[in-house]
């Protein structure tokens, strides 16, 4: 997927440039946080708020090794020169004077990682001194293998079928037989309820649902009642929270950020919900919904984003149990020409992969490969 | 590390609630996770539940670290009295920020009491995860299972490693 073009810069940080110690008595410990603060400050000082704002979305410190003082910084291709010059102008991290030196720049993290490994092994060979157990463990933990997200594009899938599929994938993920997986799909008109079974928020009798061409399903996910239908892309990430280092709250916040990032592609300024109003809003209107279930640390269900669904269906519910707020769609919020649904789905997936910092995205386009296996299990 | 253990025991000694003890005593350079309290005298599971064993009754709840990572709890689903729970199997669920998370039982046994206050005030889990936010009381069927759980020091280290790994 090359929707977002990035540059990965491998930098070496010289602390107190007179000395160059390896692992011993360093004046400041480099962390992702203090490095990214120092670089962002430098961008702000040298390029102003406008410069900072344009770099911020894609800027990310991907790797920091406090022992060898190497770090890998990601930036979008368009902004990387700005970030690069700002890094060169960084004078201090914390209270310690520093100098940044660029060692390598490449378009994919793999090449950058290889260069980093090479540089670090050389450093260790040169220094010839032993590192403590602690430092070695720290290094091994950081030189992790790239994280891959497997994406299945499933088209329109019946809701019950998708539930069965998710159950199956959750047990596969728990047993580590599959990597982190993402289902990208849509549903035929369907109303769904969460674990709290708030069916008082369904405003028409269940019997009438068939006449409007919709189904109703009860689920174990969090959240209130919602509607799914054509022209509303849905993403169900089946991820191991432990392997991505998130708790429930930070996971949901990352899902919100994915949708906010996606909206910004069309110039729509979306925001995360206030307390108790989880989801993605444009002003007072809800454009993206979230409902998640976490079972043995594996996520299922996920998010739904309104591109251009039939809004009349929302009139039959109190969406997400929030009575006085409207529901909106991308179609309503922007006059921009919308590309094909396929492109839109891909963009949404790319935004999610970016927010969750996946190094690799592998797209599987043959839905029958997993959908058909469901028949066998029945 | 020493600072955290000191803060933890001070918080316990003064019986401060967990939200108060999450004060910003962090040293300037440390990785900035808000410090969660870990109580002495309890055993912990690696799925972040705690067990308080008093005689023939074991009380179970979720730790401060867990409630912090969950966010504000809006709904709790608990088993019924007289039902049984098994070690490492889920016995209920907690809903927060539109996410339902399962709660795993650290030990096996029979449920003798359920905290009914949580139905009306699920937020007790956030404000008082070790006291008012207890979930179920169980008669352990196999007290030896408690030995395999972590003590407070091990659990604190476990949480730190989990948080620092990313």
Strand-pair partners of A236? A183
The per-residue pLDDT for range A325-342, each reduced to its tens digit, is 889 999 999 888 889 989
Q: What percent of chain A has pLDDT over 90?
A: 43
Say yes or no for a CB contact (<8 Å) between A247 and B93.
no
Is the model more confident about B16 or about A157?
A157
Distance from CA of B164 to the nearest CA of A (A): 9
Verify whether residue A55 is a known catalytic residue. no
Say yes or no for a CB contact (<8 Å) between B31 and A242.
no
Binned at pLDDT 50, 70 and 90, residue A138 comes out as low
- Nearest by Cα to B93 from B111, B69, B75, B106: B75
What's the whole-number mean pLDDT along residues A229-249? 90
Q: In angstroms, rounded to a whole number, what is the distance separating the alpha carbons of residues B75 and A283?
A: 27
Binned at pLDDT 50, 70 and 90, residue A129 comes out as low
Exposure string for A285-317, b = 16+ CB within 10 A, e = fewer: ebbbbbbbbbbbbbbbbbbbbbbebebebbebb
pLDDT at A124: 77
Lowest mean pLDDT among A113-122, A221-230, B3-12: B3-12
Q: Which of B66, B75, B96, B99 to mutate to test the interface with A (most CBs of A within 10 A)?
A: B99
The per-residue pLDDT for range B59-78, each reduced to its tens digit, is 999 999 888 888 889 899 99
Closest alpha carbon within chain B to A196: B75
Using a CB-CB distance cutoff of 8 angstroms, which residues of chain A are in contact with residue B75?
A: 195-196
Closest alpha carbon within chain A to B162: A245
How many alpha carbons fall within 13 Å on the CB side of residue A203? 13
Q: Which value, in Å, is the radius of gyration of the alpha carbons in chain B?
A: 15
| Chain A to chain B Cβ contacts (< 8 Å) | 86
pLDDT at B25: 36
Q: Specify whether the CB–CB gap between B56 and B71 falls below 8 A.
A: no
Domain(s) of CATH 3.30.930.10: residues in chain A: 148-373
Domain B41-163 has CATH 3.30.70.100: no
What's the whole-number mean pLDDT along residues A250-275? 91
Binned at pLDDT 50, 70 and 90, residue A134 comes out as low
ipTM of the complex: 0.71
Lowest mean pLDDT among A111-115, A138-142, A194-198, A235-239: A138-142
Binned at pLDDT 50, 70 and 90, residue A263 comes out as very high
pLDDT at A330: 92
Say yes or no for a CB contact (<8 Å) between B97 and A222.
yes
Q: From the list B66, B71, B100, which residue is nearest A220 (CB)?
A: B100
At the fourth CATH level, which superfamily is domain A148-373? Bira Bifunctional Protein; Domain 2 (3.30.930.10)
CA-to-CA separations, A33 to A49, A93, B31, in angstroms, rounded: 20, 10, 8
pLDDT at B62: 92
Q: From the list A195, A250, A251, which residue is nearest B100 (CB)?
A: A195
What's the whole-number mean pLDDT along residues A123-141? 64
What's the token pair of residue A42? 């430098």
> For chain B, what are the domain ranges?
41-163
The per-residue pLDDT for range A351-377, each reduced to its tens digit, is 999 888 887 888 887 777 777 766 554
Is the model more confident about A211 or about B33?
A211
B15 touches chain A (CB under 8 A): no
Using a CB-CB distance cutoff of 8 angstroms, which residues of chain A are in contact with residue B71?
A: 247-249, 252
Distance from CA of A311 to the nearest CA of B (A): 22
Using a CB-CB distance cutoff of 8 angstroms, which residues of chain A are in contact with residue B29?
A: 28-29, 31, 34, 94
Rounded to 10 deg, the angle between the A341-355 and A248-264 helix axes is 130
The per-residue pLDDT for range A48-105, each reduced to its tens digit, is 999 998 888 888 888 888 888 899 999 988 889 999 999 999 988 877 888 999 999 9
What's the token pair of residue A361? 């995205």
Binned at pLDDT 50, 70 and 90, residue A237 comes out as very high
The three-class DSSP label of residue A362 is: strand
pLDDT at A139: 61
Q: Which residues of chain B have pLDDT under 50?
A: 1-4, 7-8, 11-34
How many alpha carbons fall within 13 Å on the CB side of residue A354? 26
Binned at pLDDT 50, 70 and 90, residue A207 comes out as confident
Q: What percent of chain A has pLDDT over 70?
A: 89
Q: Specify whether the CB–CB gap between A10 and A102 falls below 8 A.
A: yes
What's the token pair of residue B89? 């199997």
Q: In angstroms, rounded to a whole number, what is the distance separating the alpha carbons of residues A307 and A310?
A: 10
Domain(s) of CATH 3.30.70.3250: residues in chain A: 6-143
CATH dotted code for A6-143 = 3.30.70.3250
Is the model more confident about A119 or about A4?
A119
Say yes or no for a CB contact (<8 Å) between A195 and B75.
yes
Distance from CA of A296 to the nearest CA of B (A): 7
**DSSP string covering A91-147:** -EETTEEEEEEEEEEESSHHHHHHHHHHHHHHHHHHH-----HHHHHHHHHHSPPPP
Strand-pair partners of A120? none
Say yes or no for a CB contact (<8 Å) between A247 and B70.
yes
Q: In angstroms, rounded to a whole number, what is the distance separating the alpha carbons of residues B157 and B38?
A: 10
Say yes or no for a CB contact (<8 Å) between A195 and B97.
no
- Nearest by Cα to A270 from A253, A288, A254, A248: A288
Say yes or no for a CB contact (<8 Å) between A292 and B47.
no
């Amino acid at each position: 997927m090359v929707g977002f073009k990035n540059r990965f810069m491998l930098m070496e940080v010289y602390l107190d440039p007179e000395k160059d110690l390896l692992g011993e008595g360093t004046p400041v410990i480099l962390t992702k946080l203090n490095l990214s603060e120092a670089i962002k400050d430098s961008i702000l000082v040298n390029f102003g708020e406008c410069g900072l704002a344009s770099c911020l979305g894609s800027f990310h410190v991907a790797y920091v090794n406090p022992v060898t003082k190497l770090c890998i910084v990601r930036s979008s291709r368009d902004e990387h020169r700005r970030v690069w010059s700002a890094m060169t102008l960084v004078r201090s991290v914390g209270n310690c004077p520093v100098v940044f030196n660029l060692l390598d720049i490449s378009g994919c993290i793999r090449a950058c990682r290889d260069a980093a490994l090479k540089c670090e092994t050389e450093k260790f060979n040169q220094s010839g001194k032993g590192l403590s157990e602690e430092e070695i463990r720290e290094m091994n933990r950081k030189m992790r293998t790239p994280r891959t997200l497997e994406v299945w594009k499933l088209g329109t899938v019946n809701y019950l079928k998708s539930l069965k599929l998710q159950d199956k994938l959750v047990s596969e993920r728990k047993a580590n037989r599959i990597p982190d997986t993402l289902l990208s799909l849509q549903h035929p008109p369907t109303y769904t309820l969460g674990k709290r079974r708030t069916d008082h928020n369904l405003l028409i009798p269940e019997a009438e649902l068939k006449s409007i061409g919709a189904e109703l399903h009860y689920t174990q996910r969090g959240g209130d009642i919602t509607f799914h239908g054509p022209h509303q892309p849905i993403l169900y990430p089946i991820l191991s929270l432990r392997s991505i280092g998130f708790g429930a709250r930070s996971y949901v916040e990352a899902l919100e950020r994915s949708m906010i990032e996606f909206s910004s592609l069309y110039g729509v300024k979306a925001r995360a919900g206030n307390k108790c109003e989880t989801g993605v809003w444009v002003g007072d209107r809800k454009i993206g919904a979230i409902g998640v279930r976490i079972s043995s640390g594996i996520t299922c269900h996920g998010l739904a984003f309104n591109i251009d669904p039939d809004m009349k269906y929302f009139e039959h519910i109190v969406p997400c149990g929030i009575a006085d707020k409207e529901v909106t769609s991308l179609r309503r919020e922007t006059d921009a020409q919308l590309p094909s649904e396929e492109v839109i789905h891909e963009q949404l997936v790319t935004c999610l992969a970016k927010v969750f910092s996946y190094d690799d995205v592998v797209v599987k386009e043959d839905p029958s490969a997993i959908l058909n296996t469901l028949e066998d299990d029945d | 590390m020493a600072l955290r253990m000191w803060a933890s025991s001070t918080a316990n000694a003064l019986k401060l609630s967990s939200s108060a003890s999450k004060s910003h005593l962090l040293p300037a350079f440390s990785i900035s996770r808000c410090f969660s309290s870990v109580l002495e005298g309890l055993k912990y599971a690696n799925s972040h539940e705690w067990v308080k064993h008093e005689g023939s009754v074991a009380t179970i709840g979720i730790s401060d670290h867990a409630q912090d990572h969950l966010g504000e709890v809006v709904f709790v689903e608990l088993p019924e009295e007289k039902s049984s729970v098994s070690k490492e199997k889920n016995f209920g669920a907690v809903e927060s920020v539109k996410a339902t998370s399962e709660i795993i039982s650290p030990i096996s046994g029979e449920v003798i009491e359920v905290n009914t206050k949580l139905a009306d005030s699920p937020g007790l889990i956030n404000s008082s995860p070790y006291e008012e936010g207890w979930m179920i009381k169980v008669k352990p069927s196999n007290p030896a299972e408690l030995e395999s759980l972590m003590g407070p020091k091990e659990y604190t280290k476990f949480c730190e490693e989990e948080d620092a790994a990313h």
